[in-house]
């Protein structure tokens, strides 16, 4: 195997020429061209459904293209045409894919996971020798790991490192990273950026799939933008601005600033008084938190993932019972009540995990639309469901939020992430509309509402949240995106270790100060 080839700077290692891939009813890729140079970080940018994943599936041997050709120079100095018959064949050719959802076995050690499926693994494992080799590869490429550690003990960022190592161990000199930052905290993302740079410096070429403009600009050398299954452009990152990339990606100008009127504060809608709650492992996850959210404002919740956000949201929505303190929703004490009482009491919830919690993927849109309203008229009368009313409501919400494809009888899993989120938002906002009676504002708890969405969908979600604020709802927004928190929120509560480190005004608080709070330091 040839490792680092000190070829010229612009030597191509991958050339995908005029790739076309059709699926029943869609053309996922049409005459797409992608060129990757040795030792470069090449971003593949595009909205959801633009054809990024399909193109990479072709490159890693999962799909056969219907047209076009693939040329590689990973083990050779010159490009030669190749037909990848299978993922195994692609691995042989030097292509390694790191999926967004890791393919690791948590109870196995790092070394065992790396060896799993590797070609030259002997029948009798020599974990010590393999461990040494893993360590050596890790050091060479700047990916320090302990080969004996069990995968479940590792953080998400470290697990990703194991996935990358696994590919390097198998001799990959082209790494494809599928939305690698989607699962990472901002800090871990930056660490990944450094890793990518050191890999590139040692001659590994990287294709990284993304729909986030900031990280493309931060980490990539060049970027190929896909739009509607076609190549929109390939550009050097230094030559373009964020706005240029957004225009290439969406096909029109995108506004990054949000127009927001001053808050018109209403009554106290959600009051948490000295609330403490345990996490899943019976360790205190929410520690003595007091918060008041008023109608007409957006309270942002910032914090590094895993600092009590999940549990706090569950407490706010009745999915977790606090061990101490009280929760009042619109003047009613709901402490110790169950989720159904919170729903009836006026709390809408856009959950973090769309397909895991917010939707039942195999059920049609209609069944998902009535998730919260199936108990009330006209959706059901006595014990019976009213199919006609269900269809009317579904059609109305699908149209109002432009959920595509809008067939109410199709399963929800067929929607893209952005459309899933639109469907959930439509449902939850419809719920707050029903619940907002007179002066009493409804509560909307939105958790990572724009995570994983493309630019177009993000705009819709943000508009919807601001609109709720404008009509007097009390909005709680948990987010990892500090820019988003600062533009949308009226106040930001920063969580660390299950405690509120401070509630700050985004207009007067710098990003650095927010970072300090997130790291657990109180501002003096």
Q: 64 or 187, CB closer to another protein? A: 64
Among 139, 264, 280, 353, binds another protein (CB under 8 A): 353
Closest CA to 221 of 231, 232, 204: 204
CA distance 362 to 355: 10
Beta strands 499-504 and 230-236 are unpaired
Q: CB 26 → another protein: shortest distance, Å?
A: 9
Q: Does 343 bind another protein (CB under 8 A)?
A: yes
Q: Using CB under 8 A, which of the segments 74-82, 167-175, 186-194, 205-213 binds another protein? A: 74-82
Among 135, 212, 372, 469, binds another protein (CB under 8 A): 372
CA distance 204 to 479: 33
Q: 93 or 162, CB closer to another protein? A: 93
Residue 236 near residue 205, CB atoms below 8 Å: no
Beta strands 298-302 and 491-496 are parallel
Among 385, 460, 471, 482, binds another protein (CB under 8 A): 385
What count of other Cβ atoms lies within 10 Å of the Cβ of residue 477? 25
Q: Does 169 bind another protein (CB under 8 A)?
A: no
Among 88, 128, 242, 375, binds another protein (CB under 8 A): 375
Q: CB 362 → another protein: shortest distance, Å?
A: 5
The DSSP line for 310-367 is HHHHHHHTTSS--SEEEEEETTEE-TT--HHHHHHHTEEEE-S-IIIII--TTSBHHH
Let me know if 306 is exposed, middle or buried by CB neighbors in 10 A (0-12, 13-18, 19+). Answer: middle
* Residues between 308 and 327 with contacts to another protein, criterion CB under 8 A: 317-319
Among 18, 33, 82, 156, binds another protein (CB under 8 A): 82
CA distance 99 to 163: 8
Q: Does 339 bind another protein (CB under 8 A)?
A: yes
Q: 61 or 472, CB closer to another protein? A: 61
- ∠ CA 180-185-186, nearest 5°, is 95
Q: CB 18 → another protein: shortest distance, Å?
A: 11
Q: 136 or 409, CB closer to another protein? A: 409
Q: Does 357 bind another protein (CB under 8 A)?
A: yes
For binding to another protein (CB under 8 A), which residues are involved? 24-25, 64, 69, 71, 76, 78-83, 85, 317-319, 338-343, 349, 351, 353, 356-363, 367, 370-372, 374-375, 380, 383-385, 414
């Amino acid at each position: 195997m040839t490792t680092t080839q000190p070829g010229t700077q612009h030597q191509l290692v991958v050339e995908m020429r005029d790739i076309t891939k059709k699926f029943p009813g869609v053309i996922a890729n049409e005459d797409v061209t992608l060129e990757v140079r040795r030792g470069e970080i090449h971003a593949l940018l595009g909205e959801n459904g633009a054809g990024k994943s399909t193109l990479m599936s072709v490159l890693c041997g999962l799909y056969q293209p219907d047209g076009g050709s693939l040329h590689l120079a990973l083990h050779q100095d010159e490009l030669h045409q190749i037909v990848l018959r299978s993922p195994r064949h692609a691995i042989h050719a030097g292509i390694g894919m790191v999926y967004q959802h890791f393919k690791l076995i948590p109870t196995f050690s790092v070394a065992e996971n790396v060896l799993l499926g590797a070609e030259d693994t002997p029948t009798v494992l020599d974990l010590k020798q393999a461990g040494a080799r893993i360590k050596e590869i890790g050091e060479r490429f700047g990916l320090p790991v302990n080969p004996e550690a069990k995968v479940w003990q590792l953080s998400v960022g470290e697990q990703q490192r194991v996935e990358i190592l696994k590919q390097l161990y198998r001799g990959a000199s082209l790494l494809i990273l599928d939305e690698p930052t989607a699962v990472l905290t901002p800090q871990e993302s930056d660490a990944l950026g450094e890793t990518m740079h050191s890999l590139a410096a040692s001659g590994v070429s990287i294709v990284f799939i993304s729909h986030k403009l900031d990280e493309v600009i931060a980490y990539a050398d060049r970027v190929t933008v896909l739009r509607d299954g076609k190549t929109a452009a390939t550009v050097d990152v230094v030559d373009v601005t964020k706005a240029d990339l957004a225009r290439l990606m969406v096909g029109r100008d995108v506004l990054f600033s949000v127009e927001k009127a001053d808050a018109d504060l209403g009554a106290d809608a959600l009051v948490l008084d000295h609330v403490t709650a345990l996490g899943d492992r019976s360790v205190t996850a929410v520690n003595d938190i007091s918060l008041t959210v008023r109608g007409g404002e957006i309270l942002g919740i910032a914090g590094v993932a895993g600092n009590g956000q999940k549990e706090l949201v569950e407490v706010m929505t009745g999915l977790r019972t606090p061990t101490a303190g009280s929760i009042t929703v619109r003047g009613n004490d709901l402490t110790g009540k169950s989720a159904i009482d919170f729903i009836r009491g006026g709390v809408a919830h856009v959950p973090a995990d769309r397909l895991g919690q917010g939707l039942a993927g195999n059920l049609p849109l209609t069944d998902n639309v009535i998730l919260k309203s199936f108990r009330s008229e006209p959706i059901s009368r006595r014990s019976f469901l009213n199919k006609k009313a269900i269809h009317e409501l579904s059609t109305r919400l699908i149209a109002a939020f432009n959920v595509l494809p809008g067939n109410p009888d199709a399963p929800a899993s067929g929607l893209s992430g952005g459309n899933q989120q639109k469907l959930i938002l439509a449902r939850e906002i419809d719920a707050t509309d029903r619940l907002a009676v007179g002066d009493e504002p409804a509560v909307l708890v939105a958790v990572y509402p724009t995570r994983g969405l493309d630019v177009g969908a993000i705009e819709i979600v943000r508009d919807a949240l601001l609109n709720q604020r404008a009509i007097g709802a009390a909005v709680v927004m948990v987010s990892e995106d500090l820019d988003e928190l600062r533009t949308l929120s009226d106040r930001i509560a920063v969580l660390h270790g299950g405690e509120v480190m401070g509630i700050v005004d985004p207009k007067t608080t710098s990003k650095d100060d927010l970072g300090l709070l997130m790291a657990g330091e109180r501002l003096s």
